[in-house]
C-alpha cells in the first residue's frame, strides 16, 4: 500500500541535542511538507519542498533544517537552536507541486525534550 | 494571505444526532476546500473536499456546504457515532503558491 511513513513515533531529545525525524513516501508525490502541531492549535508550516534538491522556509523555520536529496524522502532536523521543540510533528505530501488535490499526511512523530 | 478560523474549538453532541462544524476563510479567491479528521495521536485523514464551482457535496454520512458570498464552509455529519470523536480541520487552497492553509480545529466529542 502506498503512503507516508514517519519514524520514530516517539522521540526524546536532551537539551542541546540535534535530532532528525524521518519522512518517507512511496506515492510518487512531488511536494512534501513539515508541520508542527501544539496542543489545541492548528498546523504550522515549518518547511516545504516542491522538487528534489529544493525547499523553502515556512512560517516557523527557525531552529529547523531539512534536505530533499530524493523524491521519496524529506527528513527534518530539530536543532539545538529550537528552544521549545516539544510538539507533534506531521509530514505531508501532495501529488504535484501544489495542493490542488489535497495533502496526504503521515501518522506523526511526538518529540519531547527531557 | 489567507486566514482560516473555526467558530467553535469544541463541540459535544449526543450519539445519533447530527453534527455541524463551521469554518470561515478570508480570501475570496480561494477555490478548493478540504475537511480533515484527526484522531488522537494520529495524522489528519481526508474526509471530503469541494471546489468553488460547487456549493454542496455529499459523501457517506458527511456533507460539505460552501457559501462563497460570506466565505463560510461547514461540515455536517449525520447520525454521529462514537467513532466520529476527533478533531476536525478545514483547509483552504488559494494564492499563487497553491498551498493549503489550515484552521485551528474543532474537537468533536460524541456523548453516549
What pLDDT was estimated at residue B45?
95
Q: What's the grid cell of residue A28?
A: 510518487
- Measured between beta carbons, the chain A residues lying within 8 angstroms of B44 are 43, 90, 105
- Give the Cα separation of A99 and A93 in Å (integer): 9
Cβ(A74)–Cβ(A68) under 8 Å? yes
B70 has a pLDDT exceeding 80: yes
Nearest chain B CA: its distance from A83 CA (Å):
23
CB contact under 8 A, B104 and A99: no
Average pLDDT, chain B: 91
User: How far B37 CA sits from the closest chain A CA (Å)?
Assistant: 11
Residue A30 CA: distances (Å) to CA of A57, A94, B74 = 17, 6, 30
Question: Mapped to the 3 state alphabet, what secondary structure does B38-69 carry?
Answer: ECCCCCCEEEEEEECCCCEEECCCEEEEEECC
Instruction: Flag whether pLDDT at B34 surpasses 90.
Output: yes
- Between A2-6, B21-25, B92-96, the lowest mean confidence (pLDDT) is in B92-96
Inform me whether the C-beta atom of residue A60 falls under 8 Å from chain B C-beta atoms: no
Q: Give the angle A25-A27-B99 at the CA atoms, nearest 5°.
A: 85
What local confidence, expressed as pLDDT, does residue B9 receive? 87
> Cβ separation of A107 and B42 shorter than 8 Å?
yes
Please give the order of strands across the beta sheet that includes A19-25: A4-7, A19-25, A76-78, A64-66
- The answer to whether residue B92 neighbours chain A at the CB level (below 8 Å) is no
pLDDT in tens, chain A (114 residues): 669 999 999 999 888 899 999 999 999 999 999 999 998 778 999 999 989 999 999 999 999 999 999 999 999 999 998 889 999 999 999 987 555 678 999 999 999 988
C-alpha cell at B9: 474549538
Peptide bond into B6 cis (omega under 30): no
Residue B12 has pLDDT above 60, yes or no: yes
Task: Indicate the residue of A97, A100, A108 with minimum beta-carbon distance to B43.
Answer: A108
- Per-residue pLDDT for B84 more than 90? yes
Give the pLDDT of residue A1: 60
Name, in order, each residue with C-beta under 8 angstroms of A29's C-beta and a sequence gap of 6 or more. Answer: A93, A94, A95, A96, A104
What's the CA gap between B69 and A12, in Å, rounded?
A: 47
Any B CB within 8 A of A103 CB = yes
Note whether A98 contacts B34, CB cutoff 8 Å: no
Residue A47, pLDDT score: 96
Q: For position B8, what pLDDT does the model report?
A: 82
- pLDDT for res B51: 92
Amino acid at each position: 500500500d502506498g503512503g507516508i511513513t514517519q519514524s520514530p513515533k516517539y522521540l526524546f531529545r536532551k537539551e542541546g541535542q540535534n535530532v532528525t525525524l524521518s519522512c518517507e513516501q512511496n506515492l510518487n508525490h512531488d511536494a512534501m511538507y513539515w508541520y508542527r502541531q501544539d496542543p489545541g492549535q492548528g498546523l504550522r508550516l515549518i518547511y516545504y519542498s516542491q522538487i528534489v534538491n529544493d525547499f523553502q522556509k515556512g512560517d516557523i523555520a527557525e531552529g529547523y533544517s531539512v534536505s530533499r536529496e530524493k523524491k521519496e524522502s524529506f527528513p527534518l532536523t530539530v536543532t539545538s537552536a529550537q528552544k521549545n521543540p516539544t510538539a507533534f510533528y506531521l509530514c505531508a505530501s501532495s501529488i504535484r507541486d501544489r495542493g490542488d488535490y489535497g495533502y496526504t499526511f503521515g501518522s506523526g512523530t511526538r518529540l519531547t525534550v527531557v | 494571505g489567507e486566514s482560516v478560523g473555526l467558530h467553535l474549538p469544541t463541540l459535544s453532541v449526543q450519539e445519533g444526532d447530527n453534527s455541524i462544524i463551521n469554518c470561515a476563510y478570508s480570501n475570496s479567491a480561494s477555490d478548493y476546500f478540504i475537511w480533515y479528521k484527526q484522531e488522537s495521536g494520529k495524522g489528519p485523514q481526508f474526509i471530503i473536499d469541494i471546489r468553488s464551482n460547487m456549493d454542496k457535496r455529499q459523501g457517506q454520512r458527511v456533507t460539505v456546504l460552501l457559501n462563497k458570498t460570506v466565505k463560510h464552509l461547514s461540515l455536517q455529519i449525520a447520525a454521529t457515532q462514537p467513532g466520529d470523536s476527533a478533531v476536525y480541520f478545514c483547509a483552504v487552497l488559494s494564492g499563487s503558491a497553491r498551498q493549503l492553509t489550515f484552521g485551528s480545529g474543532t474537537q468533536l466529542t460524541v456523548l453516549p
